[in-house]
Amino acid sequence: MIGPSVAIGIGSSEPYKQWGASRFAELADRLLDAGWPRLFLVGGQSEAELARSIVHRLGDRSDGVSEAIDWNLADVAALLAAAVFYVGNDTGVMNIAAAVGTRTYGLFGGTSPLFHCRSLVSITPPDLRIDKAHGMARITVQRVVQAIVADRGALGPAITEPGRGPSRRVTAAT
C-alpha cells in the first residue's frame, strides 16, 4: 500500500443497498481533495462495471484510485485491516472491515442500521426513515462527509484516530 488509504465498499447484495456510482465518485473526489493518497474501491465481480464508472467519473484524478474487485477474502481482509477507514454500503465486506477493527462508516438507507461492533458508525438518512425504494438516495455525500468529520475530526489523513467507543448512529441532519 502507498501511504494511508481509505477503502470504499461499492458492493451490494441487493439493489436497494446500492449508494450508486455518482455518489461514490463524488465522495472519492472529496476524499482526494482532503489529501488521501490512495483510495481502494472494494467489491465483487458484479461491481466491476460500477468501479469502472466511478473511475471514469474521476477523470484525471483517478490515479489515486485502485480497484480491489473480486479479490479473495483473505486479501480483502488484509486490505481492510491496513486501511485507515472504510466507508460503504451495508454488506459482508462492511462487516469484515468492522470485525478487523478498522473504523467503518456503514451506509444504511435500505436496511436497519447495525450496532454490533464498536468500530462501526451507522449512517442513515437525515429523517432516520429506512426504506428500500429511496433510503440510500436520501443519504447525501455531504451527510457522509459530515459523519466522518464528526467522528474523526477531519476528512483528511493527518489527524489522530478516534478511540474505539461504542458503535452509534449518526443523526445530524444535512
Q: Delimit the domains of the chain by residue range.
A: 5-170
- Collect all residues with Cβ–Cβ distance below 8 Å to 144 and sequence separation of at least 6: 27, 87, 105, 107, 123
3-state secondary structure of 120: strand
Q: What is the spatial distance between Cα 47 and Cα 11, in angstroms, rounded to a whole number?
A: 6
The pLDDT score that the predictor gives to residue 27 is 98
User: What's the CA angle centered on 117, arms 99 and 66, to 5 degrees?
Assistant: 45
The pLDDT score that the predictor gives to residue 173 is 38
For the segment 2-38, what is each residue's pLDDT rounded down to a tens digit?
A: 679 999 999 999 999 999 999 999 999 999 999 999 9
Confirm whether pTM is higher than 0.75: yes
User: What's the CA angle centered on 115, arms 127 and 94, to 5 degrees?
Assistant: 95
Q: What is the spatial distance between Cα 170 and Cα 122, in angstroms, rounded to a whole number?
A: 6
Q: Burial-class residue 69 by CB neighbours within 10 Å (0-12, 13-18, 19+).
A: buried
Stretches where the chain sits below pLDDT 50 are 1, 160-174
The pLDDT score that the predictor gives to residue 159 is 53
CB 170 within 8 A of CB 123: yes
CATH code linked to domain 5-170: 3.40.50.2000
The pLDDT score that the predictor gives to residue 2 is 60
Taking alpha carbons only, the member of 127, 109, 121, 118 closest to residue 148 is 121
